[in-house]
Amino acid sequence: MTGIPVRLSIVTLGARDMGVLRPFYRALGWPELPSGDNTWTGFLLGGVLLALFPLDDLTAEAAPGSANPTGWSGVTLACAVDTRDAVDRAFTAAVTAGATPIAAATDRPWGGRSAFVADPEGNRWEITWGPEATFDERGALLSWG
**CA–CA gap between residue 126 and residue 62 (Å, rounded):** 8
Which residues of the chain carry a pLDDT beneath 70?
1-2, 67-72
The residue segments making up the domain with residue 64 are 10-143
Specify the pLDDT at position 114: 98
Answer yes or no: is 45 within a domain.
yes
- What is the number of domains present in the chain? 1
Give the CA count within 13 Å in the CB-facing half-sphere of 114: 25
Answer yes or no: is 2 within a domain.
no
Amino acid at 17: D
Answer yes or no: is 64 within a domain.
yes
Specify the pLDDT at position 75: 86
- CATH code (residue 127): 3.10.180.10
Answer yes or no: is 20 within a domain.
yes
Answer yes or no: is 121 within a domain.
yes
CA angle 17, 54, 119 (to 5 degrees): 125
Answer yes or no: is 61 within a domain.
yes
Specify the pLDDT at position 71: 65
Answer yes or no: are the C-beta atoms of 145 and 121 closer than 8 Å. no
Q: State the burial class of residue 115 (Cβ atoms within 10 Å of its Cβ: 0-12, 13-18, 19+).
A: buried
Closest CA to 87 of 64, 76, 98, 103: 103
Instruction: Give the start-end residues of each E strand in the chain.
Output: 10-15, 41-45, 48-54, 75-80, 100-107, 113-118, 124-129, 134-135, 141-143
Answer yes or no: is 120 within a domain.
yes
Answer yes or no: is 1 within a domain.
no
Specify the pLDDT at position 109: 93
